[in-house]
Amino acid sequence: MRSRLRNFLVCTTLLSSSTAIAQGPLELVSPPEVELPFGDAAFPEGNGAQALNEHCLACHSPDHVLNQPSLPRAGWEDTVKKMIRAYKVEISQEDQKRIVDYLTATKGLD
Ligand code: HEC
């Protein structure tokens, strides 16, 4: 529960801070350079990793997704559908399949 709440807050903060930037006064301020170790910043290589990097990192880290309990394929399908339904993530049918394939291969129970 706690981690869900934190996730929601992180997500809301990200969304609201980008709005704040868009509405702020026009100042030329360069964003701070932040170097993240590669492992934290992207899903580990594998078929479909690119689709997750594209669609899933706006709101949570790869660790957050990969530290969930393993699920059978249908469970990952439900999770991806839930992200689409609840959080309005737009993902093509092809990418949904790539994402479910990746998660089933990495954290599957089948
Ligand atoms: C717009 C923000 C957003 C995007 C993009 C997003 N998620 Fe989520 N996700 C959330 C939030 C908020 C939670 C925590 C609340 C919850 O569990 O309902 C969450 C929770 C999860 C969980 C924890 C288990 C669960 O069912 O709650 C998994 C796994 C997950 N997301 C996977 C993904 C995957 C895979 C993608 C890419 C296809 C993705 N998310 C894209 C917002 C997002």
18 falls within a domain:
no
pLDDT tens, residue by residue, 26-42: 677 777 776 655 446 89
56 falls within a domain:
yes
Measured CA to CA, the distance from residue 16 to residue 87 in angstroms comes to 15
How many structural domains compose the chain? 1
70 falls within a domain:
yes
Distances, alpha carbon 64 to alpha carbons 6, 56, 78, 94, in Å: 11, 10, 17, 23
Tell me which residue has its CA closest to atom 21 in ligand 1.
65
pLDDT tens, residue by residue, 55-70: 999 999 999 999 999 9
Name the amino acid, one letter, at 51.
A
20 falls within a domain:
no
Contacts of 74-80 with CB under 8 Å at 24 or more apart are: 75/109, 76/100, 76/103, 76/104, 76/107, 76/108, 79/103
pLDDT tens, residue by residue, 55-109: 999 999 999 999 999 999 999 999 999 999 999 999 999 999 999 999 999 999 9
Q: What angle do CA 88, 80, 100 make, to 5 degrees?
A: 145
Ligand 1 first shell, C-beta below 6 A: 4, 7-8, 11, 52, 55-56, 58-60, 65, 68, 79-80, 82-83, 87, 89, 91, 99
10 falls within a domain:
no
16 falls within a domain:
no
- CATH number, domain at 100? 1.10.760.10
13 falls within a domain:
no
Which domain covers residue 45, as residue numbers?
Answer: 32-107
